[in-house]
Structure 1
Amino acid sequence: MSSRRPLIIAVCIAGLAGLAGYAWHANQPHAGGAGAPRVGAPPQAAGGGGPGAPVAVEVAVVQARTLADDVSAVGTLVSNESVVLRPEVSGRIEAIRFRDGEAVRRGAILVELDAAVQRAELQQARANLTLAESNFRRTQDLFGRKFVSQSSLDDARAKLEVARASLALAQAHLARMQIRAPFDGVVGIRSVSPGDFVKDGDALINLEDIATLKVDFRLPELYLDRVRAGQALELSSDVLPGARVAATVEAIDPLVDAQGRAVRLRASLANPALRLRPGVFVRVRLILGERAAVPVVPEAALVPAPGNTQFVYRVDDGKVKRVEVRTGQRRQAVVEVVEGLEAGAVVVTAGQLKLRDGAAVNVAGAPAGVARAD
């Protein structure tokens, strides 16, 4: 084994020397080689174009639109009318005249209590009234023939009035055993059944008028002088994704909340299909006014700059000019330009990172009248 070690070492040294010679030969320049640079050839630019080549960009024309001044808030839908029906007297439920969730008309009987006693009292009151009327007519006839005194006639008249009052009272007692709908609406889900004994004031069923709904919301007090009854607003809700429901301001609370410095407003909206229900959370957009011919640009045209400023690249005769702008409202991917641009100007919407002030541009799919740099 020791006799072979010098041979192995010699082979390794020869191999290393060969690799070193190959590496030296590969790094030497060769005349006419494919990798040799040509004398006088201009250097290639990194994107395939020269330093002064036009930059490909996309543009848009500044448009004039009518914008609405608005304010957003959140609110909750409430019924136009809402009541929990309760009996005025204690009694046993004799009949329920509605089905859960059913629409009912004003005056419809919803719940009847056992009224056997009240009906008997009514019958007694009618009999007493009939007797009192007969006695009064008889006394009146006798008084006309001078057989009775004036006091007898007055006494008969008083008894007649008492009998009439007793009849009215019996009718009122009987009416209180029937619970009727005070307005058109939809009844809720009952928690009582026929035969249940209920006390006066117990909750029986809720009745909601939801053909028209109201929405209550609050706005900061600084908007107090800009809101008024009759203003239009839009509602949106997760219950109706993508839908916009029109509503109208109905009332403004005269009292400003001293804790939150907010004013409460109520608006009303039609709900003919009953798709919305009381208690639903909604987003409110109140339109305070409209402004015509407002210049707007796509959001993509704006480039942020230091100092909380923004600018755009305006295209003039195939070249761009950096223009600082002041913006206003944002609506559906467009931004109002308060200062810096006018309607009809052309601005870059894509490719701003490759631009500098005064750079030449090639416009992809240029609108009519927009110059291209060749």
Structure 2
Amino acid sequence: MTSTKTLFTTLALATVAGFSLAACSGAKEKYASASPADAAAARPVVGTAMIVRDTVIDAIIDASGVAEPIQQATLSTKLMGTVTAVLVHEGDAVRAGQTLLRIDARDLTAKAAQVGASIAEAHAMEREAATHAARIRALYADSAATRAQLDAAETGLARADAGLRAAQAALGELEAMRSYATVTAPFGGVVTSRAVDPGAFAAPGAPLITVQDGSTLRISVSAAGDAVRALERGQTLTATIDGVPVSAVIEGVVPAGVGNLFTVNATVANRAGQYRTGSAAVVSIPVAREHAVLVPNAAIVREGDLTGVIVRSATGDDRRWVRLGVSTATHTAVSSGLKAGETIMVPNAAAR
């Protein structure tokens, strides 16, 4: 009996010891499996506590487009001739009126000399006709000339005057053609394309040089009619260019010519040239108003693709993963994972 009792006691003690060892082992494994992120979330966060509120915000749709310069010109000429000089290269900044390219116009110079001689001859004929007409008028007044002679003199003067005007007009036309021998910048900007080199043959209408003024960019996007119904010229919208937030001012809303789509044109100031022309752009178009919980951007914590906030409760600070909505330069809407009335922490800059 004694040995049996002792055996049961020994087994019982061994069982209790086994459970104790298992519990200790489980506790060790639990603490060992705790991630550094969980440990960090368990510690009180140094920062500013704030209670989030229910806020009415604009529901938006994002429309994609391209940021293009408002002013862009591909320059050509009406002349047919050899390019004698190209004074700029791609990337050069130019001012309005600056000479960019010259074309051989020696034949026009020769014609200008001929037209100049014609004008001189027309001037001489006009003076002779005026003198003759004045003489006939005097004779007619003294009844020494007939009415037919006076009419002929007046007609000759009119023809001489018309000939002079025609010669002067020919000179003006020739000077206009000679001006096409020098290609100048129509506005200040940057040369983005140089299509010819000295010695190349320039044909009328063929592209020679492209100049682009990127000081103001235009973003054109398409949206459905319901989305643009409330938009007005001069209204400011939130947009991004290459992911950088910008303010875009509506220039106009016009039918796109395809179904129920409309084109929204919005301009962005780019005086400093900080945004590159041709960059991808997104315009946020407000379509309705809805309730949302807004949090400061500084309160958002990120880990890979996950986004969250630090929620303070009676049991301590806890990191909570949330889903984010629309964002501005200062705040972001939380679409799920956080309720109005909860307290979040905005960590100090040193604590992030």
TM-score, scaled relative to structure 2 = 0.66
**CA distances 1:138-179 after superposition (whole Å, capped 9, x unpaired):** 321221111872222122112112211221122122122222
Residue aligning to 2:250:
249
Q: Which amino acid aligns with 1:247?
A: A
Q: Which amino acid aligns with 2:273?
A: L
**What is the number of equivalent residue pairs in this alignment?**
281
Q: Distance in 2 between matches of 1:236 and 1:214?
A: 12
Deviation at 1:78, TM superposition (A): 1.3
1:96-135 equivalences in 2 (<5 Å): 96-135=86-125
Instruction: Name the CA shift for 1:333/1:294 in 2 (closer, same or farther; >3 Å).
Output: closer
Match of 1:88 among 78, 91, 94: 78
Q: Distance in 1 between matches of 2:121 and 2:109?
A: 19
Instruction: Name the CA shift for 1:217/1:26 in 2 (closer, same or farther; >3 Å).
Output: farther
Give SS of 1:189's match.
strand
**CA distances 1:92-121 after superposition (whole Å, capped 9, x unpaired):** 012223333222233322211111110121
Q: Distance in 1 between matches of 2:115 and 2:13?
A: 130
Query: Does 1:167 find its partner at 2:171?
Result: yes
Give SS of 1:162's match.
helix
Identity rate, percent: 24
Deviation at 1:180, TM superposition (A): 2.3
1:149-188 equivalences in 2 (<5 Å): 149-188=153-192
Q: Which amino acid aligns with 1:77?
A: A
Give SS of 1:228's match.
coil
Q: Distance in 2 between matches of 1:120 and 1:202?
A: 25
Deviation at 1:334, TM superposition (A): 4.2
Q: Distance in 2 between matches of 1:180 and 1:144?
A: 49
Deviation at 1:131, TM superposition (A): 2.2
Q: Which amino acid aligns with 1:266?
A: N
Query: Does 1:29 find its partner at 2:9?
Result: yes
Residue aligning to 1:212:
216
Deviation at 1:34, TM superposition (A): 8.8
Give SS of 1:95's match.
strand
* Bigger helix share: 2
Residue aligning to 2:307:
none
Instruction: Name the CA shift for 1:124/1:289 in 2 (closer, same or farther; >3 Å).
Output: farther
CA contact (8 A) 1:299 1:335 kept: no
Deviation at 1:132, TM superposition (A): 1.2
CA contact (8 A) 1:29 1:36 kept: no
Residue aligning to 2:269:
270
Instruction: Name the CA shift for 1:288/1:272 in 2 (closer, same or farther; >3 Å).
Output: farther
CA contact (8 A) 1:232 1:286 kept: no
Q: Distance in 1 between matches of 2:87 and 2:11?
A: 109
CA contact (8 A) 1:86 1:200 kept: yes
Query: Does 1:79 find its partner at 2:69?
Result: yes
Instruction: Name the CA shift for 1:27/1:182 in 2 (closer, same or farther; >3 Å).
Output: farther
CA contact (8 A) 1:188 1:206 kept: yes
Deviation at 1:74, TM superposition (A): 0.9
CA contact (8 A) 2:222 2:256 kept: no
Instruction: Name the CA shift for 1:29/1:96 in 2 (closer, same or farther; >3 Å).
Output: same
Deviation at 1:87, TM superposition (A): 2.1
- Once superposed, what is the RMSD of the aligned Cα atoms? 4.1
Instruction: Name the CA shift for 1:123/1:90 in 2 (closer, same or farther; >3 Å).
Output: same
Q: Distance in 2 between matches of 1:224 and 1:287?
A: 8
Instruction: Name the CA shift for 1:36/1:133 in 2 (closer, same or farther; >3 Å).
Output: closer
Q: Which amino acid aligns with 1:158?
A: A
Give SS of 2:193's match.
coil
Query: Does 1:285 find its partner at 2:284?
Result: yes
Gaps of at least 5 residues in structure 1 are 1-23, 38-45, 48-55, 301-312, 320-326, 350-364, 366-374
Give SS of 2:74's match.
strand
Q: Distance in 1 between matches of 2:52 and 2:232?
A: 34
Residue aligning to 1:53:
none
Q: Distance in 2 between matches of 1:26 and 1:209?
A: 100
CA contact (8 A) 2:224 2:261 kept: yes
Q: Distance in 2 between matches of 1:118 and 1:264?
A: 47
Q: Distance in 1 between matches of 2:264 and 2:55?
A: 29
Instruction: Name the CA shift for 1:330/1:182 in 2 (closer, same or farther; >3 Å).
Output: closer
Q: Distance in 1 between matches of 2:180 and 2:100?
A: 12
Q: Which amino acid aligns with 1:137?
A: R
Residue aligning to 1:304:
none
Q: Distance in 1 between matches of 2:168 and 2:16?
A: 127
Deviation at 1:30, TM superposition (A): 4.3
Q: Distance in 2 between matches of 1:286 and 1:206?
A: 33
- Which of the two has higher C-alpha Rg? 1
Q: Distance in 1 between matches of 2:326 and 2:162?
A: 80
Instruction: Name the CA shift for 1:296/1:80 in 2 (closer, same or farther; >3 Å).
Output: closer
